[in-house]
Structure 1
Amino acid sequence: MCGICGIINLKNKPIRQATLFPMMQRMKHRGPDDEGIFIHQNVGLGFVRLSILDLSDAGHQPMNDGSGRYTIVFNGEVYNYIELREELKRQGLSFCSGTDTEVVLKAYIHWGEKCLEHFNGMFAFAIYDEENDVLFGARDRFGVKPFYYCMTEDQFVFASEIPPILETKCIKPKANNQAIFDYLVFNRTDQTEATFFAGIKKLQHGHSFTVKNGEYKSKEWYNLRERVEKAAPFEDEQAYRACLNSSIKLRLRSDVPLGVCLSGGLDSSSIASIVYEDFGNTGLNTFSAVYNKGEHGDESEYIDEFRGTLRNMFFTHPTVETLYQDIPNFVYIHAEPVPSLGPYAQYKVMQKAKENVTVTLDGQGADEELAGYHYFYGFYYKDLLRSFRMRKLLCEMKGYWHVHRSIYAYKTFLYFLLPKRMRTLARANEYGYISQNFIKRYSKRNNIAGNLYGSSSLNDALLDHFEYKLEHLLKWDDRNSMASSVESRVPFLDYHLVERTLATQSSEKIKDGVTKSILRRAMKGTLPEKIRNRMDKVGFDTPQDEWLRTSVFQEYIETLISSKSFKNRGYFNVQKVHELYQNHLDGKINVSKEIWKWIHLELWFREFIDK
């Protein structure tokens, strides 16, 4: 895991080290072990390294192919690099290191752009072909690893994070108001190539690009919908378990210590149980966030199910005081607003993990492929209604009530039946604090209501979530882990597992009011029953509603929402903001997510735009 960056001066102005070096320093947390620079006339590549595989100097980047024609900067891991290296050796290629970086480079030389289809992993890379003066790059199937870029008349600039691009001053930082609308209204980011910065984009997941003769072109190299149509569904839970085990085994390849981020939920607990039970890792390190008993987000009763089994369990205790201290760095390392404080728990977990390991396994992706979020019930009901399976619909709705004693699924069902325009306006006006002028200007341009909430079936909804939602979770995972120089791996996002799971019938995901049916059955006898049978959905979370009522934050928030800059942004009905905040303080309502969105958005402006 590393950080990559680069510049092409499109008008052939020579690159200077003094331009690349500050970019690298802005993301040194991604690679504290080594760094390197490549310059050829108007092309420059920069790299900072976090050593994971082959810790020797042979893994130094930028890496060339030996002839001097090809040079690569690579971020991520290709887990099947051992098998690919042997295959390429049989084709007559030779290797000088034990790194996956060299495998990626030689695979590109041998197979060209089709090399991407051979890779099983998470990656973002760029390869410069000096002979043809072409820069080629690509991003993994689901967007686990980041790649940002900016194209101007004079330059093409790219990096693993946005701040290194800003360091070049290729553009003046300016807010993308459509991204801000989507953030405030839908709590969503990263559903398109756009970022919060106008003029800075991200290479979309499953896409590759070339820069040649001053022209940038991107194209899709991986289409999940097409792959799912061809995939073989799982015939039973044993087949699912075998595929999950295979994914985890591949992601245990590492030359440095490894652990599991253990939230106490079904997904991360399944990973920890398989690593311990099936692969005999009795010394497994786990890392968890816990809170005071009774506080929202405290998962101690589930995490404690592993006490006596796992020997190396480590805990972090985030508090309102640590949050107050950490806010400046949290805002800086994320570089874009985050719509809840859930990622702060993971931020603290990664800090704890760094004290003991360099690689972690995480449960991201399981909710998207196994319908883990409770609003997926609404899509399932919509699916059953459209196919006139009324008896099944009534049985599933009854099952949900029996298990959860909640009407949440029924509310989302009705919401998903609304026309797209009404879905947008219902969310935009839910609390009444967003400026009506802002809503009028940007609601019609919004695509989330259609892309994420207009799906006609459960499986369509899952595919849409891979396309439009998953990436912002992966972005937060990347920023939190890399801020502590930790590599986070996500076994549930092995493409073999994803494709076959999504090809499997809906009843294996939701059945009798219970989500993740096939995973629950697959883990019987391995996972503690208390966890296997839990029906709520928490993950790494925080007691943000309590925190944002405390005296620690009261003056801070009052000052922020009363500031001239906050009032002049043009996004808020400021009187309504104050009214909602007071009602939150009085315990009449819980709008902690909205309050945090106000805080992070304003601090983001001050850190990145106003300066």
Structure 2
Amino acid sequence: MCGIAGMITKYGAPPDEGMLRRMTSLLAHRGPDGEGVWAAPGVGLGHRRLAIIDVSPTGAQPMHSADGRLTIVYNGELYNYKELRKVFEADGSVFRSASDTEVLLETYRRYGKDCVKHLRGMFAFAIWDAEQKQLFFARDRIGKKPFFYRTLPDGSHAFASELKALLPLAPATVDACAIRLFFGLQYVPSPRTGYENIFSLPPGYRGFADASGVRVESYNDWKDVMPPTEGATEETIRRLLEDAVRVRLQADVPVGAFLSGGIDSAAVIAFASKHASSPIRTFTMGFPEAHMDERAEARRLSEYFHTDHTEFEAKPEDLLAIGSQVIAQYDAPYADSSALPLWLLARETAKEIKVVLTGDGGDELFGGYRRYMAYAQALLLSKLPGVSTALLAAGHSVNDAGLIRMGETVFHASKNPSRAYGELFTGSYFSTNRSASLLSPAFAGATATCDPAHFVESMMKGDGKPLERAMRFDLASYLPDDLNVKMDRATMAFGLEARSPFLDQYLVGFAIGLPLKTKVNYGNTKVGLKRALRGIVPEEVLKRKKRGFQVPLAQWFRGPLAPRWKERCLDPHAKLAAYVKTDQTERLFRENAQGADHGNRLYMLYALAEWLGRN
């Protein structure tokens, strides 16, 4: 895992090498093991190295092909590089290193832009082709590794693993539409970034840059990686997941794992323990608040699988100490609050090892979120006359936010099921109704076409049942632009590589093709996955109610975080005041203090205020 950066100049002059080094220095946290910079007429590439496979100098980047035609900078891991190398060697190729980087370079030499269709892994890379005088770049199918790019005022094109390496190159303007989307999603969806004319390459995309401009295109079709089904569905899930874990144990350094008390991380630990040559090191983060703490459950799993276990605790004073630093690390409007404990977990874990396995992706692939059950229930209730009116009346009479939210979802489901899921999703943050109360009239009017619920609705177009399309949205947007961003920035801030077996392309391709009843059925979630894991993980894990990596923000904002929040969010002269009504933000704070749970919303306002303060 690494940090990459580079530039294509407009008129063929070599980029300033000092500038390339400044760009890579801003990515030093991603690659503390080495730096490389290369410049030639029209192009310059930079790299920060985190040595995981072939830790010798022969694996350093930028790496050149033997004939000097191709030069690559690459961030990621290829889990099929040994198989590709064997095929290429049988066909006459000679390799000078043991790295997957050189195999990727040869894959491009043979297949050109279709090289991406031969890769199994997580990646973002750029290859300069001196013969074509063109930069080819690509990002993996599920968006594990980031790739940002922009065109500068002089016509040059620049790219980097993180926005912080691009922002100093030229002035940047805040993208108001991105902020409007953030209010409903808690993240900025690609290709937007929070800045006008700076873009995130979407998952499963490739691109080309030269003196004439930049163009990008999608290369991914999940049908291309759907594996053949052998045996029952449960047997195939088990086989594919075990293989995904096995290949992610490849490294020339020790591999550990993040462990919670849930199904997904338990499954990863089960298969990792089976294939590892020594006890797996596991790491858990908990909270002082017992109802949100999974350390006891993780401890029991550690004992069951005989792992070498370490646990930590996140407290409200930690947020005071690191909050601004965490928000700054994400570069864009971003407010997934579990990034805070994950940051602490990554920081402590990185002191011990360099690679961790995670359970990310299980909920999106196999239907693990509670909102899927709520949405399915709303779809059924929407067929009954008067239900939405009754739910809304009951909710308002007892001030029950859950009943009100269900009533609103049922109402929208009766008219437009896709819009209903958009309102349900954004309801965790700022739904259409909440946004109407919160946003300043000028900002709301200027961004009316950037409605978050409509964005969700637009992403749900296509075939399939409404719940299937809702899960498709989560896989296409929420997973890559929220969860993958969270994991990448938190772990790479400390030079820690995170690998997610559930996001293996073959497992994803298979899961997408499964019928809905194997995911969510009669109020049960992860139906097929739970069946597949019987006998693999303890039965108590399969029966335990999903908790998630939740942070007790509502409680913390009633206590030690209150003064900091009021300082950042209630200043009428701060930049935040141009986007929201200060009296409405104060009302949210007051309601939270009186017992309502506005923790996520208060943190979103805090994170946005911090980000705007830097822009």
**Normalising by structure 1, what TM-score?**
0.90
* CA apart distance, 1:12: 2.7
* SS in structure 1 of the partner of residue 214 of structure 2: strand
Partner of 1:155: 156
Q: Which residue of 2 aligns with 1:285?
A: 281
Which secondary structure state, in structure 2, belongs to the residue aligned with residue 5 of structure 1?
strand
- CA offsets 1:55-113 (integer angstroms, 9 cap, x no match): 10000100001211110000000111000100111121110111100000011101212
Aligned residue for 2:4? 4
Q: How does 1:302-313 map to 2 (within 5 A)?
A: 302-309=297-304, 310-313=306-309
Match of 1:208? Answer: 206
Aligned 1:42-121 pairs, distance under 5 A:
42-121=42-121
Query: Take 1:79 and 1:409, find their aligned partners in 2: how far apart are those partners?
Result: 43
Other-structure match for 1:260: 257
2:521 maps to: 511
Counterpart CA distance in 1 for 2:576 and 2:296 is 46
Task: Give the aligned residue type for 2:443.
Answer: F
Superposed, which structure 2 residues align to 1:27-42 within 5 Å? 27-42=27-42
TM-superposed CA distance for 1:239, in Å, is: 1.8
Q: 1:101-148: CA deviations, max 9, x gaps?
A: 000001110121221111000000000011221111111001100000
CA, structure 1 residues 130+320, in 2 after alignment: closer, same or farther (shift >3 Å)? same
Alpha-carbon spacing, 1:279–1:119, altered in 2? closer, same or farther (3 Å): same
Q: Which moved more, 1:466-475 or 1:61-70?
A: 466-475
2: CA distance, partners of 1:75 / 1:18: 22
Distance 1:2 1:214, change over 3 A: same
CA distance in 1, matches of 2:269, 2:126: 34
Deviations 1:16-54 (A, max 9, x none): 211101101111000000110110022100000000001
SS of the residue corresponding to residue 536 of structure 1 reads coil
Is 1:451 the counterpart of 2:458? The answer is: yes
Pairwise mapping of residues 183-582 of structure 1 onto structure 2 (< 5 A)? 183-190=182-189, 192-224=190-222, 226-227=223-224, 232=229, 235-276=232-273, 278-279=274-275, 282-294=278-290, 296-309=291-304, 310-380=306-376, 412=409, 414-419=411-416, 427-430=431-434, 432-446=437-451, 447-452=454-459, 456-472=465-481, 473-538=483-548, 540-550=549-559, 552-566=560-574, 569-582=577-590
Relative to structure 1, the CA distance from residue 282 to residue 522 in structure 2 (aligned partners, 3 Å threshold; closer, same or farther) is farther
Q: Verify the 8 A CA contact 2:126 2:136 in the aligned structure 1.
A: yes
Task: Say if 1:148 and 1:242 are closer, same or farther in 2 by CA, change over 3 A.
Answer: same
Find the aligned partners of 1:72 and 1:440 in 2 and give their Cα distance.
45
**Equivalent position amino acid for 1:368 in 2:** E
Q: Does the CA-based 8 Å contact 1:38-1:44 persist in structure 2?
A: yes
2:179 aligns to what?
Answer: 180
Q: CA deviation at 1:383?
A: 7.6
The CA deviation at 1:545 is 1.5
Kept in 2: contact 1:435–1:573 (CA 8 A): yes
- The CA distance in 1 between the partners of 2:230 and 2:586, in whole Å, is 52
Partner of 1:593: 600
Counterpart of 2:204, as a letter, is: G
8 A Cα contact 2:378 2:409, kept in partner: no
SS in structure 1 of the partner of residue 249 of structure 2? coil
Write the letter of the residue equivalent to 1:604. Answer: W
- 2: distance between equivalents of 1:568 and 1:462? 33
Which residue matches 1:166? 167
**Structure 1 residues without counterparts, runs of 5 or longer:** 391-405
Shift, 1:568, TM fit: 6.0
Offset at 1:463? Answer: 2.3
CA-CA distance at 1:378 after TM superposition: 4.7
Aligned position for 2:14 = 14
Distance (whole Å) between structure 2 residues aligned to residue 216 and residue 367 of structure 1: 35
Shift of the 409–232 alpha-carbon distance from structure 1 to 2, 3 Å rule, reads farther
Tell me, in whole angstroms, the C-alpha distance in 2 between the residues paired with 1:384 and 1:568. 40
- Higher mean Cα deviation, 72-81 or 505-514? 505-514
- The 2-side partners of 1:500 and 1:185 are apart by 30
Letter in 1 for 2:166: I
Residue number in structure 2 paired with 1:603? 610
Q: Structure 1's 173 and 212: CA in aligned 2 closer, same or farther, altered over 3 A?
A: closer
Alignment deviations for residues 203-238 of structure 1 (CA, whole Å, 9 cap, x no partner): 1111111113322111111123x5488975973212
SS in 1 for 2:438: coil
Helix, strand or coil at the partner of 2:143: coil
In structure 2, give the amino acid aligned to 1:297. M
C-alpha distance in 1 between matches for 2:16 and 2:265? 45
Instruction: Output the CA distance in 2 between the equivalents of 1:99 and 1:229.
Output: 27
Structure 1 residues 429-483: Cα deviation after superposition (integer angstroms, max 9, x where no partner): 2272222443333233334241356774332222232222211210111000100
2:165 alignment partner AA: P
Amino acid at match of 1:186: L
Distance in 2 between residues matched to 1:385 and 1:421, nearest whole Å:
16
TM-aligned CA distance change 1:509 to 1:249, over 3 Å: same
Whether the 8 Å CA contact 1:382–1:457 is kept in 2: the answer is no
Aligned partners of 2:563 and 2:307: how far apart in 1?
Answer: 43
1:236–1:42 Cα change, 3 Å? closer
Percent identical pairs in the alignment equals 28
Question: Residue 332 of structure 1: CA displacement?
Answer: 1.8
Report the 3-state secondary structure (helix = DSSP H, G, I; strand = E; otherwise coil) of the residue aligned with 2:159: strand
Maintained 8 Å contact 1:53/1:99 = yes
Conserved? CA contact 2:246–2:271, under 8 Å: no
- For structure 2, list consecutive stretches of 5 or more residues without a partner in the other structure: 385-401
**Is contact 1:231–1:503 with CA below 8 Å preserved after alignment?**
no
Query: Cα RMSD between the aligned structures?
Result: 2.5
SS at match of 1:511: coil
For 2:75, the aligned partner's letter is N
Amino acid at match of 2:491: S
Query: 1:45 is paired with a residue of what secondary structure?
Result: strand
Residue 350 of structure 1 contacts residue 484 of structure 1 at CA under 8 Å; is this kept in 2? yes
Paired AA for residue 513 in structure 2: A
